[in-house]
Amino acid sequence: MPQGAQSGEQLLFLTDEQLRKGIEAMFFAYRGFTADPDRILEEMGYGRAHHRALHFIHRSPGTTVTNLLAILGVTKQSLNRVLRMLLEEGLVEARVGRKDRRERHLHLTAEGEALERELSDAQRARMRAAYRAAGPGAVQGFRQVLEAMMDPELRRQYHSLKETGS
């Protein structure tokens, strides 16, 4: 039996207690992952929704509001509140679409780029340290677990972001 299949077989026999510990580890890891950006954002009067918007606008400059809605999975009202604040603060600019003038294409300003970089640098440092401590096999396994937990549509969306580099 191939080694991967055998270790996959063994994973089928996790106890509820082992699964509970994994769930709790995800909760605490997420708290750690968001702690540094949360402190930076709080000083500015922003929250995680602002961070997510900045992140995905940075990853895909010129993205439309409609695309950002799909990526974030939030209501239009919620996103409009976040975008209005980012626009007013000069962190994001909305450009009228060339083909469809009703579209608004979102771009980070220089100030938005600087804030996004500060937030991402904090998270990259934490992930880099964790990945180094865990080793390459664990990193690959962690990614596989995360992708397996995604709903199929979200997994497709995630893979399309990876493939386009956006």
Q: State residue 60 phi and psi, 5-degree precision.
A: -140, 75
pTM for the full model? 0.82
pLDDT score of 137:
94
pLDDT score of 101:
79
pLDDT score of 161:
79
Domain boundaries of the chain, sorted by first residue: 16-132, 135-166
CA 91 – CA 132 distance, rounded (Å): 33
Find, among 77, 73, 76, 74, the residue nearest to 154 by Cα.
73
Q: How many other CB atoms are there within 10 angstroms of residue 79's CB atom?
A: 19
Q: Please, what are the averages of pLDDT over each run of 10 residues along the chain (166 residues)?
A: 50 83 95 95 95 96 93 93 96 89 92 97 96 95 93 89 62
**Domain boundaries 16-132, CATH class:** mainly alpha
User: What pairs with residue 105 in β-bridges?
Assistant: 64, 95
pLDDT score of 96:
87
